[in-house]
Structure 1
Amino acid sequence: MSLQFRLATAADLPEIVRLLADDHLGGGRERHTDPLPPEYGIAFAGLQRIGAEVILALNDAGAIIGCLQLLILPGLGSLGKQRAQIEAVRIESSLRGKGLGSDLIRHAVARAKEKGCKMVQLTSDNSRQGAHRLYERLGFKASHVGMKLYLE
């Protein structure tokens, strides 16, 4: 299967949320309903306002089978080095393990480089061991400790 990539539009939100809900973590925290909760549209508009991209992976028939968020972050450290943050990486569960996630990440890394980023970073839940192996194969290093403080 060859992949095509394109930027998401608000019309793609039902398929994006379907992918986000299609795993052991997302199944408990996402709400893939018809209609979608309005929070998804608000969040998507916020991503667009800050220039973030939601990149979609399409199969040969043009169906959405993967997605991720790519945010470009300015920084003062390292002489003002701009970095990219990859989040919410998903490949349709029935297609995982076929190299499609690698293709999607490589595409996002190339976009980050085009935008002048000198580094790409991501975080991944501790339970996503398969994803960790994928990221390591692509050259990512577990170089920092990530922490979260939930405010809800």
Structure 2
Amino acid sequence: MTDRREVAIVPWPGRGPSAPDRLSGLLAAYHLRTEEEKGEPVPDVAALPDRYRAEILDPRTAFANDVVLVALSGGDTVGCLVVTAPVEKRSEVKRLWTDPSFRGRGVASELIGAALARCAKDGVSAVGLSVWKWRTGAITLYERLGFAVTESWDERDDLVCMERAV
């Protein structure tokens, strides 16, 4: 029987005790996996590009103007997502990551749903995201949640840009 504990989506750091090490761990896993998938694996966080390492080492500063949502199951932080501060009524979803042991349980969908609700509350009219083209499962999820491929706003090869109205 699979453990199907309920997942709560909350802003980080939140009112209660936060788990910065666990958030940092999720961000590290995200960036290390991304570098590996790009064919540029690095042995550890210290070898990541400066901007990614800064997010991991001090997420409070790195995302000071953004909203960070975390998924909690019991006392565990099992997923994260960053929503950038709105610019001209548009925000971007970044750093969506679910602990591999919690995948397939709807955590990513719940994080995105909470992000969209937050954006609607903040008067955002559109949410964008970029995803590596080889992350076909993520692209399928985003399409299922109403995102559509749009013209790229990013110069990096192999990125698919998507957007949806709020």
Q: Distance in 2 between matches of 1:43 and 1:24?
A: 18
Report the CA distance between 1:46 and its aligned residue: 3.7
Aligned residues: 138
Equivalent residue runs for 1:3-152 within 5 Å: 3-9=7-13, 12-20=19-27, 21=29, 24-25=33-34, 28=41, 31=44, 39=54, 40-42=56-58, 44-48=60-64, 51-59=65-73, 61-75=74-88, 82-148=89-155
TM-score by length of 1: 0.76
% identity of equivalent residues? 25
AA aligned to 2:8 is Q
* Structure holding more strand per residue: 2
1:58/1:128 CA distance change after superposition, 3 Å: same
Q: Distance in 2 between matches of 1:17 and 1:31?
A: 13
Q: Distance in 1 between matches of 2:117 and 2:153?
A: 24
Kindly indicate whether the alpha-carbon contact (under 8 Å) linking 2:68 and 2:81 is maintained by their aligned counterparts in 1.
Answer: yes
AA aligned to 1:7 is P
TM-score by length of 2: 0.70
Report the CA distance between 1:147 and its aligned residue: 2.9
- Residue 131 of structure 2: SS of its match in structure 1? coil
Q: Distance in 1 between matches of 2:142 and 2:155?
A: 21
Report the CA distance between 1:88 and its aligned residue: 0.4
